[in-house]
Homo-oligomer: A and B are copies of this chain.
Amino acid sequence: MKEITRKDEIIKTAAKLFKEKGYSAVTMRDLATAMGIKAASLYNHISSKQEILKEIIISLAEAFTQGMEQIKMSNNTCVEKLNKIVELHVSITSQNTFGMASLNNDWMHLEEQLDYYLELRLNYEENFRSILKSGIQNGEISNKNVEVMLFSMLSTLRSLYIWIPNKDAINVKKLSAQLSNVLIEGIR
């Protein structure tokens, strides 16, 4: 278990404020107030609102990238890989719903790191697409419309942060299994 630093607390509080008010509307003063410290003390830990946004979004995007790399390299079937992707999203989102809200709503406010973020996202989508294509090729997936499948699955997984906070005592394995079932097997 990583030690929780003051910087971590600042980032966590900021993510909550970004979700409530939107990134643009939050000031360093708001953040200091929410932390119960002086604005000047904030700057001992963090240089700017932009640095906080970068910490939130890039660390999440890199966690997804790493998760996807492991899934891609594994010897699982394509459908098993899709199950693992669902689990990756449920797991990361349930640990950090405010951060995921910021990732979804505020990524366009990234400055220097915007290109890097977009590269990670594009790469993630490309890996997801490849798994779907392999599944079609080897007959595991009968639907042929890669882009519609990719859009549909990603939309659901990217919206998890809206929905997960409403669920009491989230069980990652159970929710992942239920969601995989709906996404992969359909509802009929």
Taking a contact as CB atoms under 8 Å apart, the answer to whether A181 and B143 are in contact is yes
CB nearest to A25 among chain B residues: B24
Q: Tell me if A158 is interfacial: C-beta within 8 Å of chain B.
A: yes
Chain A, 99-156, CB within 8 A of any chain B CB: 105, 132, 135, 140-143, 145, 148-149, 151-152, 155-156
Minimal Cβ-Cβ distance residue in B for A167: B147
Q: How many A residues, CB 8 Å from partner?
A: 33
A178 within 8 A of B: yes
Which single member of B149, B183, B188 contacts A142 (CB below 8 Å)?
Answer: B188
Chain A 155-188 interface residues, beta-carbon cutoff 8 Å to B: 155-156, 158-159, 162-163, 175, 178-179, 181-188
| Assembled-state Cα–Cα distance A108/B105 (Å) | 13
Judge whether A60 is part of the interface by a CB distance below 8 angstroms: no
Give bound CA distance, A105 to B79, whole Å: 33
Q: Roughly how many angstroms separate A113 CA and B130 CA in the complex, as a whole number?
A: 45
What's the minimum C-beta distance from A118 to chain B, rounded to whole angstroms? 14
Contact B187–A163 (Cβ < 8 Å):
no
Which A residues have a C-beta under 8 Å from some C-beta of B? 22, 24-25, 79, 105, 132, 135, 140-143, 145, 148-149, 151-152, 155-156, 158-159, 162-163, 175, 178-179, 181-188
6 A-B residue pairs with Cβ-Cβ distance under 8 Å, sorted by A, are A141-B187, A145-B178, A145-B181, A148-B181, A152-B156, A152-B179
